[in-house]
Amino acid sequence: MFSYNTPNFIKRIDVKKLSIFFTVLYVLSLIPMLVLGFYDWPSADDYTMALQPRLYFAQTGNIFGTVIESLKKSWWVYSQYEGYFFSIILTCIAPNVFGEGFYVITPFIIIGMLTFGVCYFFDALFVRVWKLDRHLSVIAAMTTLILMIQCLSEGGMRVEAFYWYSGAINYTFTFGMAFFWLGLVLRSVYENSEKARKKKLIWAAFWGFWMGGANYLTALELAICSVLTLFIFFMIRKDLFKLEGADKAQQKSFGYIWIPAVTNLIGFACSCFTPGNLVRSAETAHFGPVKAILLSIHSTLDMMFNTMARWELFVALVLLIPVFWKMAGNMKQKLSHPVLFALFAFLMVSSNMTPAFFAVANVEAGRLKVLAWMEFVLMLVLVDFYFTTWTRQNLVGISKDRSADKSAEGTVNAADSRRFSERSSLVLMLCLAFLAAGSCLCVIPNARYYSTTSAISDLATGTAATYRKENLERLEILRDDTVKDAALPEHKAQPEMLFYWDVTPDKGEWINTATANYYYKDTVVLVNE
């Protein structure tokens, strides 16, 4: 009928520059959140778990003795009330043990470990195991982290994820460590140097035991991974499976992969079979294992897909398709079971919720939802990679030469291999533009839509500064030795990212009693001015 030409304004995007862009974007998104940490303040379990170490340090000032005291408290909690020993140790050595001023490091510790763990795992899987492009792996890791952190729903989850130490160190921190451990296991086989492989194996065996004593959501998933590792190990030993992408030396190193898997399962057993769990079980409502599993599957569909997943998650998954498409060009191992892997990913996300239903019959706590969300995001990204790679391998074929990248246009030269095709660049630009425009439309009416914009809002309005000022005023009352019955004024500022739980007008409430013990008071009550 008629034809026309449109201006070709899309330039082919450089892979390295795009990885730098996403890294800078991720770092910039963290700056307001980390600055907000300077207004953070302990609350709730920070006063109970760290009580004995804090009292010891206040009396002696001995750091080494305080660490020993925290281990004693950890042993008491482990044997009397809760089994996840590694998380307990981390919780008992809270920053506020050495003074309230040290509490500001909480988000640095939590976000730092999450970032390191995810990046370490992605590098181990994509770069070490599959020998894929490092810059493309960075793009995938940064996108995943941005979705994990920035797209958390408001309403209490963010403070429990990053700012309330007792919750964040127990859940978000150990979740990041879990991916660090998985990365160690992969590197213990696929590192190029034998010395490096042995070193990673030793660390994987050591940390495997301690990760078995992490919170039960994370520990159960790692136990599942350990069982699968042992299954694959025995199937390869029986010549029923084949280890691809490994030379003879690496295949020999694979013969020791059972060690970290076994140490992890030993740690998990030590966590599960402790008398303390029986004490806590008697105090809480819980479901049987079958019902807990079914509820977990239902919650994955309902809470993850229906409630927490938002438009930007799915746009980001589309954005990653050209990234994974280019990455798959150098993939020599064939991926043949996309539906099976998607089912595995779905069940892994569901297993994240099973311990909560089994132990307390719900997943209402914000920190539980945080881990489910982060696991959901990571598994969706891996499923995205699997389906994209499977599609390319079936349409284009498997690359036989990693020295040159092959795209839909055929073999390209070395310079072009560092850039996306025009079509892929167009998809990337459209997704980025859509994300930018859509984010503006969402943030303008709701400043708390993203974690970083919520932090900016609390900083810009002075809510965070007022919150810290009010806590410092309270601290003067709590440190006044002449005051035995402390009456604390109610917070006028309750920033969404920082405020978790406060004392009540009831002096017999557990949080009031905990605060009173922490500061040597007879009673602590909240007064409404």
Residue 381 lies in a domain: yes
Cβ-based neighbours of 148, under 8 Å, separated by 6 or more: 114, 118, 373, 374, 377, 378
Residue 86 lies in a domain: no
Q: According to the model, what pLDDT value does residue 529 have?
A: 65
- Say if residue 341's pLDDT is above 90: yes
* 414 and 496 together in one domain: no
Using CA atoms, how far residue 318 sits from 137, 140, 207, 372, 434, in Å, is: 16, 12, 35, 22, 11
Residue whose entry in the numeric block shows the structure tokens 């013969």: 255
232-286, pLDDT tens digit by residue?
999 998 888 888 888 888 889 999 999 999 999 999 999 988 877 666 666 666 6
List the alpha helices (DSSP H) in 191-334.
194-211, 216-237, 248-254, 258-272, 275-283, 289-299, 311-328
Q: Which token pair is 357?
A: 């239903």
Using CA atoms, how far residue 164 sits from 104, 478, 502, in Å, is: 10, 20, 12
Helix (H, G, I), strand (E, B), or coil: what is residue 485?
strand
* 281 and 336 together in one domain: yes
Residue 23 lies in a domain: yes
Q: How crowded is the C-beta side of 438, counted as CA atoms within 13 Å?
A: 14
* 117 and 173 together in one domain: yes
* 384 and 528 together in one domain: no
* 398 and 489 together in one domain: no
The residue with greater pLDDT, 495 or 83, is: 495
Q: According to the model, what pLDDT value does residue 403 have?
A: 42
Q: Which token pair is 85?
A: 């020993």
Q: Stretch 341-366: mean pLDDT, rounded?
A: 85
| Pairing of β 485-489 and β 523-527 | parallel
89-144, pLDDT tens digit by residue?
999 999 999 999 999 999 999 999 999 999 999 999 999 999 999 999 999 999 99
Residue 448 lies in a domain: no
Residue whose entry in the numeric block shows the structure tokens 């150990």: 174
Q: Which token pair is 161?
A: 């994820």
Domain range for 515 is: 480-529
CB 165 within 8 A of CB 96: yes
How would you write 56-89 as a 3-class SS string?
Answer: HHHHHCCHHHHHHHHHHHHHHHHHHCCCCHHHHH
Q: According to the model, what pLDDT value does residue 364 have?
A: 79
CB 323 within 8 A of CB 13: no
Q: Which element (helix H / strand E) includes 107?
A: helix 106-122
284-324, pLDDT tens digit by residue?
666 788 888 898 888 888 888 888 899 999 999 999 999 99
Q: According to the model, what pLDDT value does residue 211 have?
A: 95
Q: According to the model, what pLDDT value does residue 292 have?
A: 85
* 216 and 353 together in one domain: yes
190-204, pLDDT tens digit by residue?
998 999 999 999 999
Domain final residue, candidates 372, 398, 433: 433
* 424 and 486 together in one domain: no
Q: According to the model, what pLDDT value does residue 312 have?
A: 95
Q: According to the model, what pLDDT value does residue 415 have?
A: 60
Quick one: what percent of the chain has pLDDT higher than 90? 66
* 414 and 516 together in one domain: no
Residue 170 lies in a domain: yes
Q: Which token pair is 485?
A: 């019955």
Q: Stretch 177-187: mean pLDDT, rounded?
A: 96
Which of 480, 343, 354, 372 shows the shortest CA–CA distance to 152? 372
Q: According to the model, what pLDDT value does residue 282 have?
A: 62
CA dihedral 70, 185, 188, 263 (to 10 degrees): 60
Neighbours of 399 (CB within 10 A): 17
The mean-pLDDT minimum among 3-17, 28-42, 504-518 falls in 3-17
Number of domains the chain is built from? 2
* 268 and 386 together in one domain: yes
* 154 and 274 together in one domain: yes
473-491, pLDDT tens digit by residue?
999 999 988 889 899 999 9
Cβ-based neighbours of 3, under 8 Å, separated by 6 or more: none
Q: According to the model, what pLDDT value does residue 4 have?
A: 54
Q: Which token pair is 353?
A: 């919720």
* 287 and 228 together in one domain: yes
Domain final residue, candidates 418, 433, 448: 433
- Say if residue 402's pLDDT is above 80: no
Residue 424 lies in a domain: yes
Per DSSP, the residues of 191-229 read -SSHHHHHHHHHHHHHHHHHHTTS-HHHHHHHHHHHHHH
Quick one: what percent of the chain has pLDDT higher than 70? 92
Rounded Cα gap, residues 427 and 435, in angstroms: 12
Rounded Cα gap, residues 54 and 63, in angstroms: 10
Q: Which element (helix H / strand E) includes 188?
A: helix 174-190
* 484 and 425 together in one domain: no
Residue 56 lies in a domain: no
Which of 18, 14, 307 shows the shortest CA–CA distance to 141? 18
Q: Which token pair is 35?
A: 């600055």
Q: According to the model, what pLDDT value does residue 366 have?
A: 80
Which amino acid is located at 451 in the chain?
A: S
CB 165 within 8 A of CB 363: no
CA dihedral 348, 221, 216, 83 (to 10 degrees): 160
Residue 381's pLDDT band (boundaries 50, 70, 90)? very high
Q: According to the model, what pLDDT value does residue 344 have?
A: 94
Residue 195 lies in a domain: yes
Q: Which token pair is 142?
A: 């940064």
Q: According to the model, what pLDDT value does residue 408 have?
A: 44
| Pairing of β 410-411 and β 523-527 | unpaired
Q: According to the model, what pLDDT value does residue 359 have?
A: 74
Distance of CA 282 to the CA centre of its chain: 30
520 φ, ψ (degrees, to nearest 5): 60, 40
320-339, pLDDT tens digit by residue?
999 999 999 989 989 999 99
Rounded Cα gap, residues 246 and 129, in angstroms: 8
